[in-house]
Amino acid sequence: MKSRLAPIAIAVIAGLIFMAGYFVNDRHFLGSAHAAAPVASSEAPMASVALPDFAEIVASQGPAVVNISVTGTSQAPGLGIPDFGSDFPFPDFFRRFQIQPPQGKMPIQGQGSGFIVSSDGVVLTNAHVVADADEVLVRLTDKREYKAKVAGIDKQTDVAVLRIDAKDLPTVKIGDPQKVRVGEWAIAIGSPFGFENSVTAGIVSAKSRSLPAEGYVPFMQTDVAINPGNSGGPLFNTRGEVIGINSQIYSRNGGYQGLSFAIPIDVAMDVERQLLSKGKVTRGRLGILIQEVNQALADSFGLDSPKGALVASVEPNSPASRAGIQPGDVIIKFSGHEIGRSSELPPLVAGTAPGGDATVEIWRQGKAKQLSITVGDLKTADTGSKFDEASDKPSLALGLAVRPLRENEAVEADGVRGLKVEAVNDGPAAKAGIQAGDVILAVNGGSVTNGDELRERVSKAGNKLALLILRGDRKMYVPIKVG
């Protein structure tokens, strides 16, 4: 009997020793960051980083964040789903945020967020929050309420400036978005779904994102939870400085899905400065259409990598034309800034004061060449006070890039004169089915042969108009609803 149990006892003892060794090794593994012998590695050890003190940031900066309530009698823009066309890879995902009733001509009530940038009552928010409001109410965290005046809006960047009659108000600290690194913590304070002064946190996911129909803003992407009602609220860094204005989300259902986008605060502050000092925002222009450079194009042009902005066409008598820029040139630098992607060029050009000089480095026939250019003025009516009727109705709101027909094109079109559609962006024309290559002959029966005529006829046509277009060899009328 004794001899039979011996092997079993030995096996049990061995098993216990093995298990004890396993747990000891496991505990040692868990604590090996402190106790294990150093292992040879070419990588430097990662530093231990403590979480930021979110509560301190909220306590110090939260009082300068406000809730904005608006009332009106018409549907505010940017609340539905922009139509980017059937070819856009992510249809109906980008949404602006604002809480309000369904579409229709009815009294509306909306909510958004904002923040105080000057103690004498200057508040920043999104343009789409207040663009069609009849009355704007600003509510502070201490329950004080003020009726606000819309000092100015800039639809191109979706920035609005409000004024309230108050003194000695708490203000936010302004940061530098250029110093923000991808992967840093970011904090949002706002009023999602009307829940005032809600705080969410995440990280900066990417910088300089270009979104459809938003060519003048290098958006900051985050995974901070942003929902309807957060529009116009501040995005903070870990030092409690505002680095952006929460503006858009990417969503299948209208709610947060991990992708939110903020307007860099330096862009917004420049808009604020211009609106308060001049009543409008001016932007530079070159007069070109550009496209992205892929690997195949880079190889064909002899570029060492896909970079820059390929010039697809040059508007006659434009700043670019006068400077010698030609179709087929690749703009690789603008005023010393390297252009990695084509989307990086429009904000740089727009940020240059009209009449100012810039240096453009182009790639032409396998060689780099520098050109000097005097930047033109980008005419737009999407700026100024909401209550200025002249500026509230854009003179050209079709979402088109057009140019006059050239002589050889007029001959091919049986001698007719008109405007050739070079590109169709997000807007009423795209929704109506206008395509690149169409020739616009008339607006509401009046002929058009240049951009000024088109702009004038569209501005006088009201909300509904009919374009006579030539597509191939067939003429047709296309009804368009503007606004």
Output the pTM of the full model. Answer: 0.64
**pLDDT for position 169:** 97
Verify whether residue 34 is a known catalytic residue.
Answer: no
- For residue 293, count other CB atoms closer than 10 A to its CB: 25
Strand partners, 148: 136, 164
Task: Please say whether the beta carbons of 177 and 265 come within 8 A.
Answer: yes
Q: Which of 231, 247, 260, 391 is catalytic?
A: 231
The residue ranges of every structural domain in the chain are: 52-281, 284-377, 394-481
Question: Over the stretch 274-297, which tens digit does the pLDDT of each residue have?
Answer: 999 988 898 999 999 888 888 988
- With a pLDDT cut of 90, the percent of the chain lying above it is 43
**pLDDT for position 47:** 57
**pLDDT for position 383:** 43
Q: What's the CA gap between 257 and 299, in Å, rounded? A: 38
User: By mean pLDDT, which of 11-15, 245-249, 329-333 is the weakest?
Assistant: 11-15
Q: What's the CA gap between 483 and 481, in Å, rounded? A: 7
**pLDDT for position 313:** 83
Which CATH number fits the domain 52-281, given the four candidates 2.60.120.10, 3.40.50.300, 2.40.10.120, 3.40.630.30? 2.40.10.120
Q: What's the CA gap between 284 and 350, in Å, rounded? A: 4
241 by Cβ neighbours in 10 Å (0-12 / 13-18 / 19+) ranks as: buried
> Locate tokens 């593994």: which residue?
29
The more confident residue out of 236 and 426 is 236
Question: Over the stretch 116-172, which tens digit does the pLDDT of each residue have?
Answer: 999 999 999 999 999 888 899 999 999 999 999 999 999 889 999 999 999 999 999
Q: What's the CA gap between 61 and 171, in Å, rounded? A: 7
Instruction: Look at the alpha carbons of 70, 74, 75, 78 in this order and tell me if their dihedral is positive or negative.
Output: negative
Question: Over the stretch 50-75, which tens digit does the pLDDT of each residue have?
Answer: 788 999 999 999 999 999 999 886 54
DSSP states along 403-422: EEPPHHHHHHTTT---EEEE
Question: Over the stretch 197-223, which tens digit does the pLDDT of each residue have?
Answer: 999 999 999 998 888 666 788 999 999
Verify whether residue 438 is a known catalytic residue.
Answer: no
CATH 2.30.42.10 given to domain 394-481: yes
Length of the chain: 483
CA angle, residues 287, 288, 293, in degrees to nearest 5: 155
Which residues are within 8 A (CB) of 191 and not within 5 positions of it... i.e. 6 or more apart? 67, 68, 111, 112, 113, 197, 198, 229, 230, 233
The end-to-end CA distance of the chain, in Å, is 98
CATH number for the segment(s) 284-377: 2.30.42.10
Which residues are within 8 A (CB) of 440 and not within 5 positions of it... i.e. 6 or more apart? 402, 418, 419, 420, 421, 448, 454, 467, 468, 469
Helix H, strand E, coil C: the string for 153-176 is EECCCCEEEEEECCCCCCCCEECC
Backbone angles phi, psi at 214, to 5 degrees: -130, 55
The more confident residue out of 103 and 434 is 434
User: By mean pLDDT, which of 27-36, 181-190, 375-384 is the weakest?
Assistant: 27-36
Q: How far is CA 108 from CA 64, 81, 251, 483, in A?
A: 26, 18, 24, 17
Average pLDDT estimate for 385-404: 50
468, pLDDT greater than 50 = yes
User: By mean pLDDT, which of 266-270, 344-348, 374-378, 468-472 is the weakest?
Assistant: 468-472
Task: Please say whether the beta carbons of 158 and 144 come within 8 A.
Answer: no
**pLDDT for position 471:** 86
184, pLDDT greater than 80 = yes
Q: What's the CA gap between 283 and 294, in Å, rounded? A: 28
Q: What's the CA gap between 40 and 316, in Å, rounded? A: 64
**pLDDT for position 240:** 96
Helix H, strand E, coil C: the string for 192-261 is HHHCCCEEEEEEEEEEEECCCCCCCCCEEEECCCCCCCCCCCEEECCCCEEEEEEEEEECCCCCCCCCEE
pLDDT band at 388 (very low <50, low <70, confident <90, very high): very low
User: By mean pLDDT, which of 18-27, 151-160, 356-365, 439-448 is the weakest?
Assistant: 18-27
Q: What's the CA gap between 253 and 256, in Å, rounded? A: 8
Average pLDDT estimate for 322-334: 93
Domains 52-281 and 394-481 agree in fold: no
**pLDDT for position 289:** 85
